[in-house]
Amino acid sequence: MRAGVFDSGVGGLSVVKSLLAHHLFDEIIYYGDTARVPYGVKDQNTIIRYSLEALEFFKNFEIDVLICACNSVSAYAIPELRQKAPFPVFGVIEPGAIAVKNKIADKKAPILILGTKATIASQKYQTLLKNFGYENLSALAPTLFVPIVEEGLLDGPVLEQTMKHYFDPVDIDPKGIILGCTHFPLIQKPIQNYFPKATLIHSGEAIVEHLQASLQMPKTKTNTSLKLFSSENPENLKRIANQWLGLKP
């Protein structure tokens, strides 16, 4: 099977990492809109327009399924993409909410949703989790985590001070934390250290479970081939793929 993975930039490689680890696909076509990244600070209409343009890109490939790794795309553009796409389209928000349901039985447990401004404002995670019966939800957009990860500051005093800025005012003791942005899994460990009792929900792992359940996919035995594309010079994407995934595509 051949999957398309769409992301606003390089962050979706954290989802690709999970897809590779579970050998779900024979081939992955990755497209990052690096010329217009980030989406998470942009408005709904812009995100939908850019997502539909990316769909045109994927129509050039015979993909069996399109995975939107970007939470901001998943928050706003899934209905439009599904309407226009000749293949199934999956976002990461529904899988993330289902992962909460699978992992945290107590519906009174405090859940902290972390995401971009766009994702949090969409209320998509909040609505799904409320429908699943969760009563104690907090949501937070730690906007600076994205550029900090892109700057490669995955630990150290800048990240620590920024975590204090966003997390010190959090007045719940979360039992579950949704890492609702592709960049956040790269600082999963310091987030876990800050909230040692919380179960962290990772979009990549959540979408793998969701795809396995939805498509009843067998693991492929061979390695997945990965092709990387971006809307500007792909050198930066390739460099980060090398760094994050430990491979030279």
* Residue 27: its H or E element: strand 27-32
Q: Which of residues 150-209 bind a copy of itself (CB under 8 A)?
A: 150-151, 153, 156-158, 160-162, 164-165
**CA 124, CA 116: separation in Å to the nearest integer?**
12
* Minimum gap (Å) between residue 121 Cβ and a copy of itself: 12
Q: Are the C-beta atoms of residues 66 and 89 closer than 8 Å to each other?
A: yes
Position 143 contacts a copy of itself (CB under 8 A):
yes
Structure-block tokens of residue 159? 């990240």
Token pair belonging to 12: 């979706």
Q: According to the binding rule CB under 8 A, does residue 239 interact with a copy of itself?
A: no
Name the minimum Å distance from CB 165 to a copy of itself.
5
Rule CB under 8 A: choose which of 233, 239, 243, 247 binds a copy of itself. 233
Indicate which residue of 70, 75, 100, 187 is catalytic: 70
Selected catalytic residue, list 63, 65, 163, 181:
181
# chain residues binding a copy of itself, by CB under 8 A: 29
Residues 6+ apart with CB under 8 A from 210: 90, 94, 95, 98, 99
* Shorter beta-carbon distance to a copy of itself: residue 147 or 218: 147
- Contacting range for a copy of itself; rule: CB under 8 A; set: 15-23, 41-49, 60-68, 71-79: 41-49
Is residue 70 annotated as a catalytic residue, yes or no?
yes
The window from 32-40, 84-92, 108-116, 131-139 that contacts a copy of itself (CB under 8 A) reads 32-40
Check residue 177 and give left, alpha or beta (phi > 0: left; psi -120 to 50: alpha): beta
Task: Determine if 144 is a binding residue for a copy of itself (CB under 8 A).
Answer: yes
Does 45 engage in binding with a copy of itself (CB under 8 A)?
yes
Active site residue 68: no
Which residue lies nearer to a copy of itself by CB, 109 or 146?
146
Q: Are 139 and 115 in contact (CB under 8 A)?
A: yes
> What are the distances in angstroms from CA 123 to CA 11, 22, 98, 127?
21, 30, 16, 6
* Cis bond upstream, residue 190 (ω within 30): no
End-to-end distance of the chain based on CA atoms, in angstroms?
A: 19
36 near a copy of itself, rule: CB under 8 A: yes
Among 135, 232, 239, 247, the residue binding a copy of itself under the rule CB under 8 A is 232
Catalytic residues: 70, 181
